[in-house]
C-alpha cells in the first residue's frame, strides 16, 4: 500500500507565550499543499525501513516514520512491514514533512491492520509524535493554537493560486528559532483572515520568527524580497524556516541558484 504525505505552509505565525514545561504556545493557520513524499508499506516476514530521495542524515530509528511504527506497535497490533520512504519534502524547512510522514504512517498501519482504530485515537497517537502531527490526520486547513495541537476550523481558501516555495541550501533549527523569538500578543486575529483579500495579507499577516531568523540568516529575507519582486501578492517564511513561499495570481519563473524550488497550483 502506498500513500503520499504532503507538506504544509503556515499562514501567519504568532508565538503567544511559553508554558511551564518549556513549550511555546502559538497561533497559526496550517494549510496543506501538494508537495509530497511517497510512503509505501508491504507486509513482510520482518520489519525494515528504506529511505531514498533527499538525504535526511538520520538513522532509521530516528526517522519519524519508524517512531510512528514503534508507537503503533506499542499500543496496537501492527503487522510486520517493509517500509519505503522517498523524500521530496526538504527537512529543516518549516514545511512539516517529517510530521506528515509520521501521521501518514499511522494512517497506513491503521488501514493495513485487522483492527482499525478511531480517528480520535489516531489524533492522540499523532500528538505523542509531535505538536503538528495531528494536523496531518485530517489534513484540512485549520487555525492551530496551544502548542500547535488545538485546531479550529477556517474557511480560508487559496484555490487556484500559484504557490512558489524556495528553500536555501541550509536549515534553520526549530529549537534555535524558538530560543530567539520573544512571545507577544498577536496583533491580528487569524479568525478574520478569510474576510481579507489575499492581496492585502502583507499588511496584516506576519510570522513572528521572521525578524529574528532574518537577522541571523539575511539570505532568507533576500529570498522573500525576491518573491515579492517577482510579483507575489503575498510572501512569507513558513514555520520557523528556512523555506519561504510566495502566492501568485499567475504562473511565474525565476532562477534561484543552489536552492530547492517547488511550484504548483493549489487545489
Q: Residues 78-99: pLDDT tens digits?
A: 999 999 999 999 999 999 999 9
Task: Give 219's pLDDT tier (boundaries 50, 70, 90).
Answer: very high
Asked whether residue 46 carries a pLDDT value surpassing 80, the answer given is: yes
CATH number at residue 227: 3.30.70.890
Decide: 213 and 237 in contact? Cβ < 8 Å. yes
Question: Are 81 and 183 part of one and the same domain?
Answer: no
Q: Residues 137-191: pLDDT tens digits?
A: 999 999 999 999 999 999 999 999 999 999 999 999 989 999 999 999 998 899 9
Supply the pLDDT for residue 159. 98
Residue 255 CB contacts under 8 Å (≥ 6 apart), including other chains: none
Task: Give 63's pLDDT tier (boundaries 50, 70, 90).
Answer: very high
Q: How many domains does the chain have?
A: 2
Mean pLDDT, the chain, as a whole number?
95
Asked whether residue 57 carries a pLDDT value surpassing 80, the answer given is: no
Domain's final residue, options 152, 168, 195? 152
Supply the pLDDT for residue 254. 84
Backbone angles phi, psi at 162, to 5 degrees: -85, 125
Question: Are 139 and 190 part of one and the same domain?
Answer: no
Domain's final residue, options 152, 176, 201? 152
Asked whether residue 212 carries a pLDDT value surpassing 80, the answer given is: yes
Q: Percent of the chain having pLDDT more than 90?
A: 90
How many helices (H) and strands (E) would you count in the chain? 7, 12
CATH number at residue 20: 3.30.230.10
Asked whether residue 115 carries a pLDDT value surpassing 80, the answer given is: no
Handedness of CA 63, 94, 22, 180 (dihedral sign): positive
Domain's final residue, options 123, 152, 181? 152
Residues designated as active site: 8, 132
Supply the pLDDT for residue 191. 95
> Among candidates 47, 40, 38, which has minimal Cα distance to 81?
47
Supply the pLDDT for residue 132. 92
Domain that holds residue 257: 156-265
Strands 81-87 and 48-53: parallel
Alpha-carbon distance of 61 to 52, in angstroms, equals 15
Task: Give 251's pLDDT tier (boundaries 50, 70, 90).
Answer: very high
Question: Are 178 and 145 part of one and the same domain?
Answer: no
Alpha-carbon distance of 162 to 218, in angstroms, equals 25
Decide: 15 and 184 in contact? Cβ < 8 Å. yes
Structure-model confidence comparison of residues 114 and 176, the more confident one: 176
Among 7-11, 51-55, 180-184, which range has the highest average pLDDT?
7-11
Amino acid at each position: 500500500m502506498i500513500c503520499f504525505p504532503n507538506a504544509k505552509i503556515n499562514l501567519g505565525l504568532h508565538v503567544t507565550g511559553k508554558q511551564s514545561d518549556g513549550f511555546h504556545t502559538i497561533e497559526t493557520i496550517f494549510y496543506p499543499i501538494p508537495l509530497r513524499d511517497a510512503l509505501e508499506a508491504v507486509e513482510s516476514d520482518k520489519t525494515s525501513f528504506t529511505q531514498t530521495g533527499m538525504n535526511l542524515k538520520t538513522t532509521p530509528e530516528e526517522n519519524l516514520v519508524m517512531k510512528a511504527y514503534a508507537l503503533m506497535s506499542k499500543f496496537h497490533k501492527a503487522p510486520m512491514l517493509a517500509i519505503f520512504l522517498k523524500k521530496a519534502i526538504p527537512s529543516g524547512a518549516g514545511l512539516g514533512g517529517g510530521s506528515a510522514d509520521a501521521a501518514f504512517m499511522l494512517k497506513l498501519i491503521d488501514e493495513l491492520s485487522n483492527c482499525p482504530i478511531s480517528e480520535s485515537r489516531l489524533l492522540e497517537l499523532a500528538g505523542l509524535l509531535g505538536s503538528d502531527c495531528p494536523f496531518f490526520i485530517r489534513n484540512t486547513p485549520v487555525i492551530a493554537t496551544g502548542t500547535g495541537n488545538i485546531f479550529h476550523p477556517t474557511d480560508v481558501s487559496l484555490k487556484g493560486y500559484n504557490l512558489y516555495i524556495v528553500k536555501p541550501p541550509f536549515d534553520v533549527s526549530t529549537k534555535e528559532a524558538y530560543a530567539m523569538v520573544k512571545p507577544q500578543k498577536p496583533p491580528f486575529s487569524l479568525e478574520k483572515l478569510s474576510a481579507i483579500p489575499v492581496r492585502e495579507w502583507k499588511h496584516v499577516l506576519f510570522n513572528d520568527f521572521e525578524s529574528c531568523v532574518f537577522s541571523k540568516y539575511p539570505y532568507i529575507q533576500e529570498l522573500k524580497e525576491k518573491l515579492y519582486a517577482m510579483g507575489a501578492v503575498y510572501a512569507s517564511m513558513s514555520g520557523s524556516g528556512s523555506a519561504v513561499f510566495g502566492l501568485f495570481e499567475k504562473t511565474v519563473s525565476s532562477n534561484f541558484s543552489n536552492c530547492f524550488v517547488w511550484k504548483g497550483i493549489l487545489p
